[in-house]
Amino acid sequence: MSEIGNSVNQVHAQSTEQSRQTSRVEFSEDEQTLITRMYKLVGERWSLIAGRIPGRTAEEIEKYWTSRHSSSE
């Protein structure tokens, strides 16, 4: 019975983590505007940009930017 309890807890933890990651992928319009403005000022200094957006990491900012801007720009 203990194994079932552990499995349920693991599934719940994984589900919670996936939900958190999914919800953080979305960027608000204000965040998008700030990222664009900061990129024009400081370039690919993702840590510096992330420092201006509470709750965001440099990796999230870089992933957002590269997923929306082609290398031809």
Q: What integer best gives the mean pLDDT of the chain?
A: 81
pLDDT at position 15, please?
A: 53
Q: Are 34 and 60 in contact (CB under 8 A)?
A: no
Helices (H), the chain: 2-25, 29-42, 46-50, 58-68
pLDDT digits (tens, 9 = 90+) for 29-45: 999 999 999 999 999 99
Map out the domains of the chain as residue ranges: 2-68
pLDDT digits (tens, 9 = 90+) for 58-70: 999 999 999 998 6
CATH topology (fold) of 2-68: Arc Repressor Mutant, subunit A (1.10.10)
